[in-house]
Amino acid sequence: MTDTRRNDQIKLMVLEGDGIGPEITAATLEVLQAVGERFDLDIGFTHLPIGLEGLRQHGTTVPPMIVDTAPDFDGIVLGPVDHFAYPPADQGGLNPSGELRKRLELFANIRPALSRPGFAPPCGCHVDLVVVRENTEGFYADRAMFQGSGEFMPTPDIAMSLRKITRTGCTRIAKAAFELALRRPRKKVTAVHKSNVLRMGDGLFLECTRAVAKDYPSVEYDEKLVDAVAALLIRDASMFDVIVTTNMFGDILSDQASELSGSLGLAASLNSGADTAVAQAQHGSAPDIAGKGIANPSSLIGSAAMLLGWIGERRNDPRLNEAAAFIDRALSAVIENPETRTPDLGGAIGTKAFTGHVANAIRTMSR
């Protein structure tokens, strides 16, 4: 149901994460505060521990109150997590990303790849595409079983992995892709698969996607093998608009597309379901640069902008959609100038200085 409230506070849960998470989360909140002031938005933040801090305080990397209270919030801002540093799951070391996606039914991972003005993409062509990735099943071992793991070893020399593909999962991610395509100028969806090998799993995915496509006659639809898409992205990524695919293919292709469009450090990402959405940087926690003040916060800032847009659609409040677009404009303006880039983009300024430039652009740009 659409929420038409315009003046209620926007309540965001904030989960700082590990590594560079606290640094880029602080940067993201500074930008959200700036855009809140510019657009007269009341944005409230509630901080809860997750990851290593959750483990220290509550004995688990995903404390129960995070999932329990999620319905009380309009959205969640999640910093990167370092699940490789966690103890085993039975000792509290749960993967926060996977747990939130499963338990909050965040079935769609929306990952745009967009070339920024003045920052030449490595592929040599303009990139403006979105990967719509199924988020709750596929080859991921923690999402294949009701109980137990989707990976197991019958003998010390054999490892087996299960892949779960469901009609419900395929249909709802296909609908999300076509709905997104309707809002984009090109209105094109490409279904990416490997049905020549995974005949049943990807066969079901294509069956469901084709059925959904019939309900969207104004959207151009085609299908391509995943290995062909990996090559075509390098040759000319501009041929793609909205890519819809299963979990693991989407994870890999979205990282590739983001690097080709400029940098994984610029790659925004939104995990969304029917009732909840989580803004999450597409990259990891980068523990090697944690605390050095040089992390690029663009990915999480862009993800938070996507979250504002998602909330704006639910509330039918165009101010939030305008605010989201304004953040994106501010990021582009700062990244376009070589003197206001972080080291990963060939610049020399740190996280706080970069964030200050973005916030200042929000305060001074014309609407």
Backbone angles phi, psi at 178, to 5 degrees: -70, -35
CA-CA distance, 191 to 178, in Å (whole number)? 11
Q: Is the dihedral of CA 284, 192, 271, 219 positive or negative?
A: positive
* Active-site annotation holds for 194: yes
Whether 313 contacts 301, CB under 8 Å: no
Say what the pLDDT of residue 2 is.
45
* Active-site annotation holds for 317: no
- Where does residue 271 rank: exposed (0-12), middle (13-18), buried (19+ CB within 10 A)? buried
In the chain, which residues have pLDDT < 70? 1-7
Strands 242-245 and 151-155: unpaired
Kindly report, residue by residue over 101-158, the tens digit of the pLDDT: 999 999 999 999 999 988 888 877 889 999 999 999 998 888 878 788 889 999 999 9
Say what the pLDDT of residue 7 is.
57
* Active-site annotation holds for 251: yes
Whether 138 contacts 208, CB under 8 Å: no
CA-CA distance, 360 to 329, in Å (whole number)? 12
Say what the pLDDT of residue 366 is.
87
Q: Check 227, 236, 275, 292 and give the catalytic one.
A: 227
Q: Check 86, 140, 216, 221 and give the catalytic one.
A: 140
* Active-site annotation holds for 227: yes
CA-CA distance, 189 to 357, in Å (whole number)? 36
For residue 366, give both structure tokens: 């014309």
Whether 151 contacts 366, CB under 8 Å: no
Say what the pLDDT of residue 119 is.
85
* Active-site annotation holds for 202: no
A 10 A CB-CB count for 218 gives 8
Kindly report, residue by residue over 243-290, the tens digit of the pLDDT: 999 999 999 999 999 999 888 889 999 999 999 999 999 999 999 999
Domains of the chain plus CATH, in order, are: 1-105+269-367 (3.40.718.10), 120-261 (3.40.718.10)
